[in-house]
């Protein structure tokens, strides 16, 4: 695996750390941190700073019975929420979003496939499967788009993206990602609004495929 | 030992941040009380150490949560959940990677946001190799980095510090802080970066 060269911006990471991102984006950030030591270190450093801030914001007296009630519950049974583990190329947070299943690919044409993992009012996150040499239809953005490579690689006007690399795109970027030779490129892509496609044909398909 | 050093070592209950202008050359000699308690909870399931952690963190968590907009009752609900999580997931605490305050901050913040949003925030995979083979000098080195962070925070002007605080309480984005203050965030970031280098090397060594 080549080294990760495209990382999470500090602003996005901070927004993620304090819980400000839409869930669709958080999945991508959590997946990238799972793959990237450098961003994990930045994330840990933000937590350390958060801890320092928490300690300095001032105390409020807690109820007298609070400690007792916590101590009384220490031996209670508890559900250890399943921490989803990485499965093949899919990091834990992606497995969690899929509830532990494998992708259910739906064909988009030209060998391109997708699986929408989550779509709500704030945004959506999906897996994209792009055969080598194949382009994802050229599109502009209504909002921000995060694309994390899980397998293979793609390149576009802004550079080369291999496994673990994260592309951050906004309205201003008109790009044409093309999967590079080798294995098919599988990406995790989140958008905070529907992508608008430039080509006539894909735009017709947009409502159908919810791209 | 300078007085300021002595204070940092011995009065963790008040004045965690040195006030602006105080002497702030901190060289840690030993592992902090909080980390010692946390390790006793993790390794010996020590209830009295847990109670001490509770006494130290519960009021701070409450202050922090109420400033984040929670009512007193809601804050105490979250605190119960957080402290139970601290007890149950103690095995995941790695003092080479996290400082107790940061670790608990993260649990509390995530819990608070989950309650508000009524959904579970996706979290990164846990590192599989949490080493329980603790190296005191490494732990102290990490705590020293965090001390430097606190010092940098303490040196900011009041309004700049408020800005940083609000970001971590979840009211402002980092970008807004940067827009408003510029330089201080640079200071904070360079402090973060120093800590990062260390963390990064450790993480590499763990893989």
pLDDT in tens, A23-42: 999 999 999 999 998 888 88
More confident: B173 or A49: A49
* B108 in a structural domain: yes
pLDDT at B168 over 90: no
| Any domain includes A130 | yes
The answer to whether residue A121 neighbours chain B at the CB level (below 8 Å) is no
ipTM above 0.85, yes or no: no
Measured between CB atoms, which of A20, A30, A54 is closest to B101? A54
Per-residue pLDDT at A64 exceeds 70: yes
B125 with A42: Cβ contact below 8 A: no
pLDDT at residue B183, as a whole number: 38
Instruction: Tell me, yes or no, whether A44 lies in a domain.
Output: no
Q: Is A101 exposed, middle or buried (0-12, 13-18, 19+ CB in 10 A)?
A: exposed
The pLDDT tens digits for B69-96 are 889 999 999 999 999 999 999 998 988 8
* Residues of chain B above pLDDT 90, percent: 32
Domain count, chain A: 1
In a domain? residue A64: no
Residue B90 structure tokens: 């103690």
CATH of the domain at A143: 2.60.120.10
Q: Is A196 a domain residue?
A: yes
More confident position, B47 or A194? B47
Q: Which of B123, B141, B169 is the last residue of a domain?
A: B123
Does the residue B128 lie in any domain?
Answer: no
Distance from CA of A78 to the nearest CA of B (A): 9
pTM, to two decimals: 0.80
Q: Which of A56-60, B35-39, B58-62, B153-157 has the lowest mean pLDDT?
A: B153-157
190-209 in chain A: CB under 8 A from chain B: none
User: What tens digit of pLDDT does each residue of A2-16 get?
Assistant: 589 999 887 788 888
Helices B183-206 and B174-181, interaxial angle, to 10°?
Answer: 140
Q: Is residue B11 part of a domain?
A: no
Domain count, chain B: 2
| CA separation for the pair A110, A159 (Å, rounded) | 23
Structure token pair of residue B168: 């971590």
- The answer to whether the CB atoms of A96 and B101 lie below 8 A apart is no
- Do the domain assignments include residue B22? no
Chain B CB within 8 Å of residue A56 CB: yes
Element (H, E) at A145: strand A145-151
Q: How far is A201 from chain B (nearest CA, A)?
A: 35
B109 and B142 belong to one structural domain: no
Indicate whether B13 belongs to any domain. Answer: no
Q: Point out the least confidently predicted range of A6-20, A51-65, A128-142, B65-79.
A: A128-142
Residues B137 and B207 placed together within one structural domain of the fold: yes
Task: Say which CATH number the domain at B60 has.
Answer: 1.10.1740.10
Q: How many CB atoms lie within 10 A of CB A192?
A: 18
Query: Does A50 contact B102 at a Cβ distance shorter than 8 Å?
Result: yes
Tell whether B59 and B114 lie within a shared domain. yes
Residue B116 and residue B64 in one domain = yes
More confident residue, A100 or B67: A100
Residue A177, domain member (yes or no)? yes
CB contact under 8 A, B79 and A62: yes
Which residue in chain B is spatially nearest to A28 when comparing CA positions? B122
Does residue A179 lie within any of the structural domains? yes
DSSP B100-146: HHHHHHHHHHHHHHHHHHTSPPP-PPPPS----S--HHHHHHHHHHH
The whole-number average pLDDT for the span A140-150 is 80
Lowest average pLDDT, out of A112-116, A158-162, B10-14, B160-164, goes to B10-14
Do residues B147 and B195 share a domain? yes
Lowest-confidence region among A117-121, A146-150, B3-7, B162-166: B3-7
Task: Write the residue in B108, B117, B195 that is nearest to A45 by C-beta.
Answer: B195
pLDDT digits (tens, 9 = 90+) for A92-103: 999 999 999 999
For the stretch A73-115, pLDDT in tens is: 999 988 877 789 999 999 999 999 999 999 999 998 889 999 9
Q: Which domain holds residue A138?
A: 101-209
A99 in contact with B at a CB cutoff of 8 Å?
Answer: no
Over residues B3-36, the pLDDT tens digits come to 333 333 333 333 344 444 444 445 677 899 999 9
Task: For residue B142, give its domain range.
Answer: 133-207
| Residue whose pair of structure tokens reads 């993480």 in the numeric block | B203
């Amino acid at each position: 695996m080549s080294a990760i060269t495209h990382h999470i911006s500090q602003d996005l990471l901070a927004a993620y750390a304090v819980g400000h991102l839409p869930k669709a984006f958080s999945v991508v950030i959590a997946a990238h941190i799972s793959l990237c030591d450098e961003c994990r270190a930045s994330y840990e450093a933000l937590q350390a700073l958060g801890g320092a801030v928490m300690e300095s914001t001032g105390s409020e007296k807690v109820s007298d019975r609070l400690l007792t009630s916590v101590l009384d519950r220490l031996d209670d049974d508890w559900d250890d929420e399943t921490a989803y583990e990485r499965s093949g190329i899919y990091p834990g947070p992606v497995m969690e979003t899929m509830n532990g299943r494998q992708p259910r690919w739906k064909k988009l044409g030209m060998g391109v496939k997708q699986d929408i993992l989550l779509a709500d009012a704030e945004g959506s996150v999906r897996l994209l499967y792009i055969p080598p040499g194949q382009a994802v239809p050229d599109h502009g953005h209504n909002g921000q788009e995060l694309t994390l490579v899980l397998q293979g690689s793609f390149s576009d006007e802004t550079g080369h993206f291999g496994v673990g690399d994260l592309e951050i795109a906004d309205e201003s970027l008109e790009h044409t990602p093309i999967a590079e030779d080798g294995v098919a490129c599988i990406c995790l892509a989140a958008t905070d609004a529907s992508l608008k496609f430039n080509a006539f044909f894909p735009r017709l398909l947009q409502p159908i495929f919810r791209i | 030992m300078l007085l300021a050093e002595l204070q940092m070592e011995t009065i963790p209950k008040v004045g965690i941040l040195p006030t602006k202008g105080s002497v702030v050359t901190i060289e840690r000699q030993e592992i902090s009380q909080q980390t010692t308690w946390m390790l006793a909870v993790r390794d010996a399931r020590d209830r009295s150490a847990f109670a001490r952690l509770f006494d130290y963190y519960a009021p701070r968590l409450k202050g922090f949560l109420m400033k984040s907009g929670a009512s007193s009752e809601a804050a105490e609900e979250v605190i119960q959940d957080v402290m139970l999580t601290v007890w149950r997931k103690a095995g995941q605490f790695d003092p080479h990677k996290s400082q107790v305050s940061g670790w608990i901050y993260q649990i509390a913040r995530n819990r608070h946001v989950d309650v508000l949003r009524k959904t579970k925030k996706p979290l990164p995979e846990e590192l599989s190799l949490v080493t329980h083979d603790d190296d005191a000098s490494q732990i102290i080195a990490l705590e020293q980095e965090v001390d430097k962070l606190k010092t940098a925070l303490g040196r900011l002007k009041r309004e700049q510090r408020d800005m940083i605080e609000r970001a971590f309480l979840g009211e402002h984005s980092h970008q807004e802080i940067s827009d408003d203050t510029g330089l201080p965030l640079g200071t904070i970031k360079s402090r973060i970066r120093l800590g990062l280098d260390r963390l990064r090397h450790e993480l590499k060594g763990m893989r």
